[in-house]
Amino acid sequence: MTVIATMVDDSPALLAEKVAAQRNRPGYAMDPYFYRSHLVHERELDAIVYRSWLYAAHVSQVPKPGDYVQFEIGEDAIIICRDEAGEVHALMNICRHRGARVCEEKRGNRKTFVCPYHGWVYKLDGSLKAARAMGALEGFEMADYGLKRGRCCVYEGLIFINCDPDAADFEPALDTVGAALAPYDLPAAKVAHSQVYRVEANWKLALENYLECYHCATAHRAYAKLHSIQDLDDRHSEITDNMLARAEEQTGVPGVTLNHYQAYSSSKAFGTDVYHSRYALYDGFLTGSDGGRPVAPLMGRFTGYDGGAGDFQLGPLCFMLNYPDHCVLYRFTPRGIAATDMEIVWFVRGDAEEGKDYDRDALTWLWHHTTQEDEYIITRNSAGVNSHFFEPGPYNPGYESICTDFVAWYLNALVP
């Protein structure tokens, strides 16, 4: 476990000073202060994470009334639960009496949630069902003490939550990439595998690493051999143009080549980031696997391979890389000042059978291998930026332009 020493001279004034200084150096990596400050971490949770739309679960994980999974962010836990009427809720796992957690298991099925401390009972929609002996308190109203809730948005089988009751709706933004996402038929898909990779580094280091492929050629040899995005656009324009020209015919999907960027500084409303583009795999490769060969039945409405992949962003901290035969979702979740959960979820057709239609090891090999490599470089990046001698250098304007966009958005969210 990485421990970051407390900055004894930290203060809101220092935070404002550091933000101003960073704004005066556009195009440069962030000052180590933003990875070390406990004040910054708390401000990030309040001003960014809990105000953003975050991927929480897939509908297949809560198919029946009473089914639930937990989503942990920072020091908080949120219960994603389906009630008797079929509605999905995001319930804060905090008893309204004295704060004990009302659910411990990571997933399961319950008729109610019962606090183990004093026995308060909550329904699946979070409303308070019973509070033992609280009738003795004059004016106590059960309706006033339901579990706190976040907002939910279920879109194409993906469940997103937002802890800000005043957040902008996410669906209008998602609709702008819906034509590209819908053909994978994610509502009917299933989770073939998911895995959490705990990285001992600040969440921004993990996210910045995902936002650029400057490192791909050196750190991800297997990935870089397949994916043209590891290089600048002008170096593979012919491959990309050829793929885009044949994409609709070979995949059978109109609109599969949609190109749309509405993320970070370009997002229409805070926390509603969306993006899609289709980029080419190098000639001879069909999907993201060892050797680029198909590893599962075609997804949804896809009828063939075009040698391309759909690259999506769905909220500030969630991304998908969708191949014709499987989809890979990435979620970045802050768990502490120097701890991040990088979770990968692999989706296949809902009727695909493991061992018959796909081999799980073959399906997951490329992105499991790539994420292990990422963990290695991110933790070393963390060690470096926490050095007293680190001085931030410039982002590469071609390879790391999205990092520059992210930093500008991040600073404005931290100190408007």
Q: How do residues 231-267 score in pLDDT, each as one tens digit?
A: 776 677 889 999 999 999 999 999 999 999 999 999 9
Residue 111 has pLDDT above 70, yes or no: yes
Instruction: Provide the token pair at 172.
Output: 């209008």
Do 210 and 86 lie in one domain? The reply is no
Residue 23 lies in a domain: no
CA dihedral 324, 60, 161, 97 (to 10 degrees): -160
Tell me the pLDDT band of 327, cut-offs 50, 70 and 90.
very high
**Which pLDDT score is estimated for 38?**
94
Do 188 and 117 lie in one domain? The reply is no
Percent above pLDDT 90 for the chain: 92
pLDDT, tens digit, 9 for 90 and up, residues 337-364: 999 999 999 999 999 999 999 999 999 9
Do 338 and 372 lie in one domain? The reply is yes
- The CATH number of whichever domain residue 149 belongs to comes to 2.102.10.10
Please state the rounded mean pLDDT for residues 193-219: 95
Please state the rounded mean pLDDT for residues 224-237: 79
CA 309 to chain centre: 18
Is residue 44 exposed (0-12), middle (13-18) or buried (19+ Cβ within 10 Å)?
buried
One-letter amino acid for residue 186 of the chain: L
Q: Residue 102: give the domain boundaries.
A: 58-154
Do 108 and 186 lie in one domain? The reply is no
Helix, strand, coil shares of the chain as percentages rounded to 5?
A: 35, 25, 40
One-letter amino acid for residue 144 of the chain: D
pTM recorded for the entire structure: 0.94
Do 124 and 200 lie in one domain? The reply is no
Residue 155 has pLDDT above 90, yes or no: yes
Last residue of a domain, one of 130, 154, 178: 154
Nearest Cα to Cα of residue 413 among 54, 49, 128: 49
**Which pLDDT score is estimated for 229?**
83
Q: Coil, helix or strand for 381?
A: helix
Residue 211 lies in a domain: yes
**Which pLDDT score is estimated for 234?**
65
Residue 239 lies in a domain: yes
Do 195 and 135 lie in one domain? The reply is no
Q: CB under 8 Å to 43, separation ≥6 — which residues?
A: 15, 414
Please state the rounded mean pLDDT for residues 168-184: 97
Residue 2 has pLDDT above 90, yes or no: no
Tell me the pLDDT band of 5, cut-offs 50, 70 and 90.
confident
Residue 189 lies in a domain: yes
Tell me the pLDDT band of 388, cut-offs 50, 70 and 90.
confident
Which strand ranges, in their side-by-side order, compose the sheet holding 113-114?
113-114, 121-122, 128-130
Q: CB under 8 Å to 144, separation ≥6 — which residues?
A: none
**Which pLDDT score is estimated for 142?**
92
**Which pLDDT score is estimated for 166?**
95
Return the DSSP state at 244: H
Nearest Cα to Cα of residue 261 among 272, 270, 271, 274: 274
The rounded distance, in Å, linking the Cα atoms of 184 and 368 is: 22
- The CATH number of whichever domain residue 255 belongs to comes to 3.90.380.10
Tell me the pLDDT band of 1, cut-offs 50, 70 and 90.
low
Please state the rounded mean pLDDT for residues 93-117: 96
pLDDT, tens digit, 9 for 90 and up, residues 32-77: 999 999 999 999 999 999 999 999 999 999 999 999 999 999 899 9
Residue 84 lies in a domain: yes
The rounded distance, in Å, linking the Cα atoms of 332 and 328 is: 13
